[in-house]
Chains A and B, each alone.
With several copies, the nearest count.
Chain A
Amino acid sequence: MRSKRCIAMCLAGGEGRRLGPLTHHLAKPAVHFGGKYRIIDFTLSNCTNSGIDTVGVLTQYEPLVLNSYIGIGSAWDLDRKDGGVTVLPPFVEQQGGNWYKGTANAIYRNMAFIERYDPEYVLVISGDHIYKMDYERMLHFHRTRNADATIAVIQVDWKDASRFGILATNERDQVIDFAEKPAKPQSNLASMGVYMFNWKTLKAYLQQDEANKLSSNDFGKDIIPAMLFEGTRVFAYPFEGYWKDVGTIDSLWEANMDLLADEPTLDLFDDRWRIYSQNTYQPPQYIAPQARVTRSMVNEGCTVYGEVDHSVLFYGSHVAPGALVRDSVIMPNAVIGAGAVVIRAIVGEGATVTDGCSIGHPTGDITLIASDQWVRKGVLA
């Protein structure tokens, strides 16, 4: 085993409870996004594109889909001789096992995995977020600042600031204060949940934190505050660009719609920073003679006979003749029947909106059709 300079630990156990039926049998990082991706594709692709070839993916909630999706990692070029991607569910000892207590506990319990690679730096990221980021640049920042820990930060709207971990920094980007979801935020610099640590420093803090019975074993609530309290060098790495935590049905819908702008902030067409995903071996999309497709993203394997406007269609979805899909997200292999109308909705994987059925409203909450559901005429979704 060659030693690695920097390895990544990706937290992918999130339940995503506010995503409702979409995450009944799916961890949040496995949720579909953007016509062909799952959310975790973004962090895994970021790793590969940043030259990080060793990634531990920490699963716990509904790990089977993620496990099978990640496979041996070849989709992200992470099927490596040394390193590559390893799925790390919580470990069961003879006396039993339990879920990770918090984000820091999750890393603590996988220290043996980390030490196998003898890394200088450990990058801790979340599989829940949609963004493109060059972690190598962040590492460069971390090294030039001679930091022990570096937190990636993004400026958020002041009105939203109290929903995030908010940092205060001095003129050298050193973090002087950190507050988790403060009622009165001191700044609008929010933590993105992307941390670069010197492994030796982190290891000591993880051990100390684990010994503290009162700790919630969380990076934001415990580790970072302890580091700041003890004067450890923590820096803030400023990030600009698209970053979204799609925590709710509305924000998932919104993030999909964001892609339909003429020049979306999140550019999926950039050949120098590809977002990789598992391939499903579909033929090109077929747009029938009578179809109409405008302002939309449509994936391979779709067959469109009806009208699609301002929508995102995943692979294998089918829009029958006379159907209208507008302002909607149609998940993989969903079927929109002849003459059906779908407005401002998310139609789950494999769901069917039968012929002539109408769902969704031009205003108000987004309508959600759960995976594999049949929606019949006259039965409101």
Chain B
Amino acid sequence: MKHMMGVINCIQERVDLGALTAHRCVAAVPFGGRYRLIDFVLSNMVNSGIEDVAVLTEDNVRPLMDHLGSGKEWDLDRKRGGLFVLPSNGHGKRASDIEQLRAHRDFFHRGTQEYVVIARSHIVCNVDLRRVLHAHEQSGADVTALYYCTTEDVDASFDIDAFGRIAAMHASPKGLVLKNAPIDVYMMRKSWLLDVIDEPQGAISVEQRILERLHDVRVYAYCVDAYVGIIDSITSYYRHSMALLQPDVLRELFFRGAPIYTKVKDEPPTKYADASHVHNALIANGCIINGCVENSIIFRGVRIHAGAVVRNSIVMQNGEISEHAHVQHAILDKEVYVEAEHNVVGTADAPHVVPKKKVHAIA
């Protein structure tokens, strides 16, 4: 019953989240009150019956390794297979995903699965890959590429023919038309991938190999009919975080499909005081809330003292907002301490980002 294996590509990221990715890779960026970005793609894989997942890594891998641990939270601490963090070669030269896959070629030979799903970690959605597999098998495609429909500005859009095959890809389509935006998830036969890896005049990446040769690779499109959040900038990070405050989005991500797993921290339930004012907020466990929280995402273990106000903001794990401090339109990385009566203020378009562990004491 094990048909697919998973590859999560955390190298050559085109995503820049500023201070949030200064000391961690994109995959390890905290999101949604208690998750890291990688939890979404990893849970999707596990929930779809995938029991072998390779994570290709580059720099700053420690926070990711700490988060993934033995893989137990995803039931991937298996005897054979399970979770493999494939390190970079360590000699300081950055390898492409194709080079790294080639270096760890034996990993693919070990498993008996027929199919591989390659994905990145900066996409937030809840999708059943077994359905994708079914569509892939029905279409007879070499590769199935996942996309979603949107009228927003996106990097690229697929032209899809009447049979579902991708005929072309356009960069930066403009206007309010409906675009078929790729979400960087590809399904293919393992043998097809191994052939690509072994091509002598190799492409830079698997993705490039697929998308540059749409004429000779049969790439079919699979539409994800659910909420999709592409996190590729501080702005989109902030926007998709705030979107979680819409009950519909919350339901689509967490209650409609299978659960999203993450590292368990065993925090107690959150405690509200007599004076707490909380409206329109997503709040994780282990917080103590004595102040005011509005339109915000509060991660695990945050302390919000009496008289403090947090609005339109994201406060990550173990943050502390002292008495009468104001935090507005801000993103506070882990363990940020805001002193009493100080303000941290950004704007809706440019939220103020405070780096990890910073003590914020600017009046």
Name A residues whose Cβ lies closer than 8 Å to a Cβ of B. Answer: 2, 5, 34-36, 50-52, 74, 77, 80-82, 136, 260, 262, 268-269, 272, 274-277, 279, 281-300, 303, 312-313
Contact = CB atoms under 8 A, between A and B. Distances in A.
Contact of A269 (B258, B259, B272, B286): B286
B282 A34 contact: no
Nearest to B289: A293
A167 B267 CA distance: 37
Nearest to B259: A281
A284 B273 contact: no
B137 interface: no
A343 B48 CA distance: 43
Interface in B10-42: 32-34
Nearest to A293: B272
Contacts of B297: 284
Contacts of B275: 294
A74 B274 contact: no
B279 interface: yes
B69 to A, nearest CB: 12
Closest 9 CB pairs of A and B: A51-B1, A35-B269, A284-B33, A268-B268, A281-B259, A77-B79, A299-B269, A283-B254, A289-B280
Given A51-B2, A285-B283, A298 B276 contact: no
A284 B279 contact: no
Nearest to A305: B247
A299 B270 CA distance: 6
Contact of A275 (B33, B112, B258, B266): B266
B226 interface: no
Looking at A269, A274, A287, A297, the one whose CB has the most chain B CB atoms below 10 A away is A287
Contacts of A82: 75
A8 to B, nearest CB: 13
| Interface of B (DSSP majority class) | loop
B104 to A, nearest CB: 20
Contact of B250 (A52, A80, A286, A297): A286
26 contacts: A36-B285, A51-B1, A52-B1, A77-B79, A77-B80, A260-B271, A268-B269, A272-B112, A283-B32, A283-B34, A284-B33, A285-B284, A286-B247, A286-B281, A286-B282, A287-B279, A287-B280, A287-B281, A287-B283, A288-B247, A292-B277, A293-B272, A295-B273, A297-B270, A300-B284, A300-B285
Given A34-B269, A77-B78, A295-B273, 4 more contacts: A283-B282, A284-B283, A291-B279, A296-B272
| Interface of A (DSSP majority class) | loop
A277 B288 CA distance: 20
B79 A284 contact: no
B264 interface: yes
B273 A285 contact: no
Looking at B274, B278, B280, the one whose CB has the most chain A CB atoms below 10 A away is B278
B261 interface: yes
Contacts of A289: 279-280
A281 B32 CA distance: 13
Contacts of A262: 273
Nearest to A283: B254
B283 A274 contact: no
B266 A276 contact: yes
Interface in B281-324: 281-286, 288, 293, 297-298
B68 interface: no
Contacts of A272: 112
B247 A294 contact: no
A360 to B, nearest CB: 20
B82 to A, nearest CB: 9
B72 interface: yes
B75 A81 contact: yes
B260 interface: yes
A332 to B, nearest CB: 12
B1 A35 contact: no
B330 interface: no
B284 A298 contact: no
A274 B79 CA distance: 12
B272 to A, nearest CB: 5
Contacts of A282: 254, 259
B183 interface: no
Contacts of A34: 268-269
Contacts of B276: 293-294
Contacts of B258: 2
Nearest to B80: A77
A214 B215 CA distance: 71
B253 interface: yes
A294 B266 contact: no
Nearest to A45: B266
